[in-house]
Structure 1
């Protein structure tokens, strides 16, 4: 399977998806840092290629690690300001008029930017339940979900 070229984007989720996809492939292929860097930069096209040409001038390519290239990549495509905005959006997210499917999509997208919740199963479950519409929250809590996945299934069924 060949990963897609990355041409640059203003959507941080597409940029994040690119790095996550590469990470999975590189781990499967058991590539070392040097090979990861070469493969990743090979996939930069369009605006991303132009950005990389400029960014790479300030880096020692002979010793560039995967960790360092992802930090440089994130500083361009997922800035601290963007992360802060996405974190605030996630922390204030409520289901409101969204369908459960739409809410789950927004919840999962935003959860990535709040690792204290994303990496704590109990916190993720509580945060999800607390943001559901009250009637759905009640219906899901009655079933006593113990995991996020069970709560999601319950919310979909309750809707």
Structure 2
């Protein structure tokens, strides 16, 4: 297996920044890297504008005690602003199936869960929010199958006769 984490040069796209952090976390988990080493590794991977940003941000932290969570807080503060996160949260809270396919709705729901952990971590709330977003006829069909949780509700839509991933109802 070849491990080759990508460098980060900065971006104006918050999803790219968040994706970089997530890709690093996969590497860190695989390597069973310690917390402080994670922050130092991420700093080492910064280039161009991101490196210049870190030069300034580093003055506000004690590098000897910098942990991964604190680095991510600083990083997200720069590259994933709170107003953007707030917009994503609001979009998720009002997410409706509408004219999208079932697969598109599920993809949007799964992405949105990342930004609203209070729902994502509570199985009952997650299922309720998912079902509330469906059109009423689909909600009724899934509820008749009495899914125990979100994963089961998703399986009901695909295994219970809804058809392929691109199926539009």
Calculate the TM-score normalised by the size of structure 2: 0.83
Q: Which residue of 1 aligns with 2:157?
A: 155
SS in 2 for 1:57: helix
Alignment pair present for 1:99 and 2:101: yes
- Written as runs of structure 1 = structure 2, the 5 A alignment for 1:40-51 is 40-51=42-53
**Unaligned segments of structure 2, at least 5 residues:** none
Q: Which residue of 1 aligns with 2:126?
A: 124
Aligned length: 159
**Unaligned segments of structure 1, at least 5 residues:** none
Shift of 1:88: 0.6
- Written as runs of structure 1 = structure 2, the 5 A alignment for 1:42-61 is 42-61=44-63
Residue deviations 1:5-50 (CA, integer Å, cap 9, x gap)? 2232333333223223322322332222332122111222233222
- Written as runs of structure 1 = structure 2, the 5 A alignment for 1:1-159 is 1-156=3-158, 157-158=161-162, 159=167
Shift of 1:66: 1.4
SS in 2 for 1:52: helix
Report the Cα distance in structure 1 between the residues aligned to 2:151 and 2:9, rounded to whole angstroms.
34
Calculate the TM-score normalised by the size of structure 1: 0.88
The Cα RMSD (Å) is: 1.8
